[in-house]
Amino acid sequence: MENQNSKYRWVVFATILFTYLLIVSQRTAPGLISDQLMTEFSVTASTIGLLTSIQFLAYASLQIPIGILSDRFGPNVFLIVGTLLNGLGTLMYSAAPNESVLFLSRFLVGVGDATIWVNLVLILSIWFKVNEFVGLLGIAGMTGSLGFLVATVPFSAWISLTGWRAPFFTVGIILCLSAILLYLVLVLKPRKMDMNHFESKKSSKKLVQKREKTLVILSRIFSDRQAWAAFLCHFGAVGTYVGFIGSWAVPYGMNVYDMTRSHASQLIMIGLFGAIIGAPLTGWISSRIGSIKRPYIIIHMIIFVSWIAFVLFSGKPPYYMLIILFLLIGYGNGASALTFAIVRKSFDIREVGVVSGFANTGGFLSAVLLPSIFGRVLDHFQSAEISVGYHYGFVIPVIFSLIGLFGGFLIMEHRMPKAEVN
């Protein structure tokens, strides 16, 4: 395809990654102000957990519909509209006068966020060749981790300096401007360059005529062992990490270890360094040994053992171990990009969108469940020492990560050609 040989594809790649970084930062930035929201709006820990969950619930519930629609009609419009909704939701959050507006704003952010990853995968499939895909997917995963990193110390320092409303307002404005930039880069400029928009529009019309009915596709995917393996792997690797750092990680550091907000953010940042390394390094290892299953099972074992350590040390492991645990759990989250390598190599290109959406639903279903359940556990033990609530709360990610490990064993290995040794 013409666009796969164009230098302009790197402009597309950079623009999408910038937008992705901003959107990902808003998944976890609200976790920095959980305690402030509880005080300002007089709400309980359960309510804060639900506030985080509603964003991920919107995200998770829309993954399959977005995948189907993007496969059929192309990814550009969904990505642009989703970015705009994310920006508007963030603006509304910054000006929220009560908890009802907080819930509505996070729901809008979740709807916008739901469009980003599935369409990023599809756009990479359109603009780049198959042999470039896995490497670029690792870079995209690393960019997402950088987005999480932005939402730690830098964002925390900004909040400490100006209060929490101004930073969210500013990011909301930038996201709205990013939606305009995406339109210029993905739609307007390619039309002016006459890049056949990209043969894919013509070919997509042919594909639509040949497509099976949606229910037939869904039925086949829901009964496919490989699709469920991807779903469960993402459930265990992503939701445990995103759900925890997006809601309770900063309060955990402050309440259990008597850290300042900035110090607790630095602790999370260590995990994000692990995530930044995890995507490209694990992708490289996978390519070198010609296997996705083996490294992914090892990753899930590491995640599982790491969460067990929190329980074994009664919710308060030694500080040096805490650093190592966050680093390992973060690495596992970054390595979850392998989920989409499984999808890309196991399914027809016409089904990559919907299967990617299905797999991504797994990750964010656990991200929906974990903050809310964790908050209820904390509320249940609120009369006890604070570490007791966290001790029992950590049982939740242990169970979730065990489910992810099971998914790793379900993977049917599709052998990749081993990378040549230089």
What Rg do the C-alpha atoms of the chain give, in angstroms? 21
For residues 126 and 3, give the distance between their C-alpha atoms in angstroms, rounded to a whole number.
8
Q: Give the pLDDT score at 230.
A: 93
Q: Give the pLDDT score at 308.
A: 95
Instruction: Show the low-confidence residues of the chain (pLDDT under 50).
Output: 1, 196-209, 415-422
Count the neighbouring beta carbons within 10 Å of the beta carbon of residue 60: 24
Q: Give the pLDDT score at 194.
A: 61
Kindly report the pTM of this predicted structure. Answer: 0.74
Tokens of 368: 């929906």
237 close to 300: Cβ distance less than 8 angstroms: yes
- Work out the burial of residue 194: count CB atoms within 10 Å of its CB; fewer than 13 is exposed, 13-18 middle, 19 or more buried: exposed
For residues 230 and 343, give the distance between their C-alpha atoms in angstroms, rounded to a whole number.
7
Q: What is the pLDDT of residues 106-129, one digit of tens each?
A: 999 999 998 888 898 888 878 887
| Main-chain dihedrals φ then ψ at residue 151, nearest 5 degrees | -85, 20
| Main-chain dihedrals φ then ψ at residue 348, nearest 5 degrees | -60, 145
Q: Which amino acid is at 95?
A: A
Q: Give the pLDDT score at 188.
A: 84
| Domain limits, the chain | 2-410
For residues 26 and 41, give the distance between their C-alpha atoms in angstroms, rounded to a whole number.
20
Q: Which amino acid is at 320?
A: Y
Q: Give the pLDDT score at 18.
A: 93
Q: Give the pLDDT score at 85.
A: 95
Q: What is the pLDDT of residues 181-236, one digit of tens each?
A: 999 998 888 877 665 444 444 444 444 445 667 778 778 888 899 999 999 999 99
Q: Give the pLDDT score at 328.
A: 94
Q: Give the pLDDT score at 20.
A: 93
According to the CATH classification, is domain 2-410 in 1.20.1250.20? Answer: yes
Q: Give the pLDDT score at 400.
A: 95
